[in-house]
Structure 1
Amino acid sequence: MRLELGNFHVKDIAFGDTLSFKDGVLTINKQEALDFIMEDDRITEADLYIAKPGDHIRMCPVKEAIEPRVRPDGRGLFPGYTSELKKCGEGTIHALKECSVLVVGKHWGGFQDGVIDMCGEGQKLTYFGQLNNIVLVADTNEEFERYEQQKKNDALRRAGHKLAEFIGGAVKDLEPEDTEVYESTPMTRRDAEIEKLPSVVYVMQPQSQMEEMGYNDLVYGWDCNHMLPTVMDPNEILDGAMVSGSFMPVSSKWSTYDFQNCPEIKELYNAHGKTINFLGVIMANLNVALEQKERAAIFVAQIAKSLGADGAVVAEEGYGNPDADFVGCIVALEDAGVKTVGVTNECTGRDGKSQPLVTLDEKCDAIVSCGNVSELIDLPPMETVLGELEALARDGMSGGWAGDEILGPSVREDGSIILENNSMFCGDQVLGWSPKTMKEF
């Protein structure tokens, strides 16, 4: 499979008369975009903003991030979800780089929503503080979940995915500034010199713990709770086959943007033919019941062994209950003779002294840590808040609280906030670009 990513590098974003891209400037007709968003009658109010690195802007509650893209051949951006089901992973797609569409609730947040700062100390705690962002701030008529801590956020998330494709239309017929090519070949038909290299699989564990549909990550529009571990071509992941869900404390979450740009897949591609034979992706899942976890681990291990993998990298979306899936998968791979490295964050408590994962095993002797979800963060006020900052304290957002005997409320009267790392939107970046780690002093 051959996938060509035609890149257009966004240096600035502005509102103007037409949707266009020229000399690094993305121009958006704001009213035209809002009219498109409001075609979904569940959206009751919406507005668009621009948030660039260095702006004194704080966003809360942030629900999703998507890279604006479009397919020149007219196929939908997220097959099986926002468009007709079609195969991903081959052909040409145009992408607006250094840019994302962010979806922010106008009022109501929940367990799975987070915070992004565009400047100051908080900016470095989430990748999206470094990007030029088109920010959709909206509310819906989904009253049935307004006061629920756990929200599906379906109307808002779908609006963001569709808006990303709408904005991507600015570069549909343009010539890319540069092109990334990802070409995969059949795992059993590779050059003899490549076959001599250590064979490696990448195991992804997207979030799928909710048995009720509508919360979990999707693969070709299919809820990952319904799937057993399977083999996927890495190009499919980079090309829109995976869509982020609405479940998981948000620093541990993988946004759709993360799937579209997965650095670990790209790095494995870079190493292919040089130091490793990159076989591809085993797409697993994260379950609730112990038997489900054990079954998934058995499947992952037998697939890896059947493919002839010498090594594996396992990435976990989440912590707590999913740690059992993560550790169980690593143990099963090691028992099958596949040397395994795990990538995850940790939950070591505010003092850093608690057990990092819910379950541990001596075979998990190569773990890459992306930081502590419980680390306390104290941030000053921002000039502008997009959304409703009170959601951090009021709506059960992970890492925020209404009151604490020692620390007081998460949201102070002057607009400053204190929160756990848990609340930083996709802040731990387990898929490969986290600047954080754990250190022992």
Structure 2
Amino acid sequence: MKLKIGNFEVKKVCLGEKNAFESGTLTIDKQATLAYLKECDDHITDLDIVIANPGDDTRIVPVLETIEPRCRVDGRTLFPGVTDAVVPAGEGELKALKGCCVTVVGKEWGSFGDGVIDMGGEGAKHTYWSKLINICLVGDTDEDFERHEQQKCNHALRWAGHRLAEYIGNVVKSQAAESFEEYEFEPVANRAAKKNGLPNVVLVMQPQSQMEALGYNDLWYGWDMNKYLPTFVSPTEVLDGAIISGSFMPASSKWSTYEMQNFATIKELFAEDGKSLNFMGVIMSMLNVALDQKERAAVMVANMAKNLGADYAIVTEEGYGNPDADYVRCQIILEDAGIPVVGISNECTGRDGFSQPLVTLDAKMTALVSSGNVSELIELPACKTVIGNMEAMNRDGMSGSWGYDEKLGKSARDDGSIIMEDNNWFCGDHISGFSVKTMIEY
């Protein structure tokens, strides 16, 4: 399967009276765009588009989702089973607007899985999103049944974000790209001779799927991954919109749809394919709750890896806590099968850094990459501009923030300053491989 992505570098985004891309400037017809999105979903009651630029003294909260604007040259939907009918993904040609993202923001209400983005100051150092021009889709809906629930599907707003990303992406559909990325995944049984003798490496992805109530989990071709079983897939499918992010999981531990579209670990494996390794593809697993579900998934992953002839595996989870059991068990069963593993995840070592990093551990796990401590405390001054609603940090059960603490007070203070855990940065630990963090040796 061969995927070609034609890239356009966006240097400036303006709101105007037409949709256009010229000389690095993306212009969005705000009124026409909002009218289109409201027409797509009558649950949307209020909607606005606000631009936030790198370096702006701006705080965005609550952030629900980020998506890269793209379009498919052949006219097929960008997100199969979501923005339109289920169609094949993973091959063909895309156009992508780089340097920007659609950022979905709650105007009033936040959720457990929503987070914070700071575009400037000290807070900008904590997240990849501060490097991008954020096309903020700020809205509210009539989904009143979710108002006072800590877990929210936020369906109308999140899917409006996916529609907006495709709508904007279509601006460059007929234009010649400035640069190209090409990813070719050869059939496993028909590999080029130059790969013979190279170590066979497989990537195991464990997307979020814990919620048995449907509508909160990641979707694979529009299919709720709580009802999914481990499957061998082409890595180009991941990069091509076959999977989108759900609303569940503490914010810093999530993979947003943007991260799926640009999954850094997949891109690095492609870069080394045929050089230092033979990239055998992705085993797409899941993260369910019951012990038999966890064991079933681990067994199936190990059997697929063995049948693929994997010499090594990388295992990465979306989340922490309960998913750690799946993450660890998957690594152990692969190690027992003679397939050495590198694990990638964040950790929960407490505010002092001295707690056990994962819910469960095993001596066989000898190669772990940490992308951050979700419990680390961060205190930041007020920003000049707020996009969204700061009160969501105090009121709506967002992970990493709170309404009252006898020592620390509330997370969003009256003077606009904040105190929160790393947990509350939106996709802040970037477990997909984007991490802006480094390790310090003592």
TM-score by length of 2: 0.99
The answer on whether the counterparts of 2:128 and 2:436 sit within 8 Å (CA) in structure 1 is no
Is 1:41 the counterpart of 2:46 in the alignment? no
The answer on whether the counterparts of 1:347 and 1:357 sit within 8 Å (CA) in structure 2 is yes
Tell me, in whole angstroms, the C-alpha distance in 1 between the residues paired with 2:44 and 2:362. 47
TM-fit CA distance, 1:188: 1.6
Please tell me the residue identity of whatever aligns with 2:31.
Q
Question: Following superposition of structure 1 onto structure 2, how do residues 69-80 of structure 1 map, counting pairs within 5 Å?
Answer: 69-80=70-81
Question: Following superposition of structure 1 onto structure 2, how do residues 251-400 of structure 1 map, counting pairs within 5 Å?
Answer: 251-400=252-401
2:53 aligns with 52
Residue aligned with 2:26, SS: strand
Residue aligned with 1:135, SS: strand
Residue aligned with 1:338, SS: coil
Tell me, in whole angstroms, the C-alpha distance in 1 between the residues paired with 2:310 and 2:83. 35
Gaps of 5+ in 1: none
The answer on whether the counterparts of 2:350 and 2:376 sit within 8 Å (CA) in structure 1 is yes
Residue aligned with 1:104, SS: strand
The answer on whether the counterparts of 2:263 and 2:432 sit within 8 Å (CA) in structure 1 is yes
Residue aligned with 2:427, SS: coil
Q: Deviation above 6 Å: which 4+ runs of structure 1?
A: none
Tell me, in whole angstroms, the C-alpha distance in 2 between the residues paired with 1:195 and 1:143. 58
* 1:132-189 deviation per Cα after TM superposition (whole angstroms, max 9, x unaligned): 1110100000000011000000000010000110111110110000111111111121
Question: Following superposition of structure 1 onto structure 2, how do residues 35-434 of structure 1 map, counting pairs within 5 Å?
Answer: 35-39=35-39, 40-434=41-435
The answer on whether the counterparts of 2:127 and 2:436 sit within 8 Å (CA) in structure 1 is no
Tell me, in whole angstroms, the C-alpha distance in 2 between the residues paired with 1:118 and 1:241. 29
Tell me, in whole angstroms, the C-alpha distance in 1 between the residues paired with 2:325 and 2:260. 23
TM-fit CA distance, 1:107: 0.5
Please tell me the residue identity of whatever aligns with 1:2.
K
Sequence identity percentage: 61
Tell me, in whole angstroms, the C-alpha distance in 2 between the residues paired with 1:112 and 1:411. 17
Tell me, in whole angstroms, the C-alpha distance in 2 between the residues paired with 1:67 and 1:360. 36
2:30 aligns with 30
Residue aligned with 2:365, SS: coil
Please tell me the residue identity of whatever aligns with 2:162.
H
The answer on whether the counterparts of 1:372 and 1:438 sit within 8 Å (CA) in structure 2 is no
TM-fit CA distance, 1:285: 0.4
Tell me, in whole angstroms, the C-alpha distance in 2 between the residues paired with 1:409 and 1:64. 25
Residue aligned with 2:362, SS: coil
TM-fit CA distance, 1:44: 0.4
**How many residues are paired up?**
441
Residue aligned with 1:38, SS: helix
Tell me, in whole angstroms, the C-alpha distance in 1 between the residues paired with 2:278 and 2:189. 11
Tell me, in whole angstroms, the C-alpha distance in 1 between the residues paired with 2:278 and 2:395. 49
Residue aligned with 2:332, SS: helix
Please tell me the residue identity of whatever aligns with 2:337.
A
Please tell me the residue identity of whatever aligns with 1:279.
M
Tell me, in whole angstroms, the C-alpha distance in 2 between the residues paired with 1:231 and 1:439. 36
Residue aligned with 1:188, SS: coil
Tell me, in whole angstroms, the C-alpha distance in 1 between the residues paired with 2:157 and 2:192. 47
TM-fit CA distance, 1:438: 5.1
The answer on whether the counterparts of 2:209 and 2:217 sit within 8 Å (CA) in structure 1 is yes
* 1:263-287 deviation per Cα after TM superposition (whole angstroms, max 9, x unaligned): 1000000000000000100000001
Please tell me the residue identity of whatever aligns with 2:236.
N
Tell me, in whole angstroms, the C-alpha distance in 2 between the residues paired with 1:436 and 1:314. 20
TM-fit CA distance, 1:435: 2.3
1:18 aligns with 18
Gaps of 5+ in 2: none
TM-fit CA distance, 1:436: 2.1
Residue aligned with 1:408, SS: coil
Please tell me the residue identity of whatever aligns with 1:8.
F
Tell me, in whole angstroms, the C-alpha distance in 2 between the residues paired with 1:399 and 1:392. 9
TM-fit CA distance, 1:84: 1.1
Residue aligned with 2:360, SS: coil
TM-fit CA distance, 1:243: 0.5
* 1:383-412 deviation per Cα after TM superposition (whole angstroms, max 9, x unaligned): 111110010011100000111111111111
Tell me, in whole angstroms, the C-alpha distance in 2 between the residues paired with 1:94 and 1:219. 21
Please tell me the residue identity of whatever aligns with 2:281.
G
* 1:180-207 deviation per Cα after TM superposition (whole angstroms, max 9, x unaligned): 1111111121123302100000110000
Tell me, in whole angstroms, the C-alpha distance in 2 between the residues paired with 1:16 and 1:106. 22
Residue aligned with 1:314, SS: strand
The answer on whether the counterparts of 1:124 and 1:130 sit within 8 Å (CA) in structure 2 is no
The answer on whether the counterparts of 1:369 and 1:437 sit within 8 Å (CA) in structure 2 is no
Residue aligned with 2:247, SS: coil
RMSD over aligned Cα, in angstroms?
Answer: 0.8
Residue aligned with 2:414, SS: coil
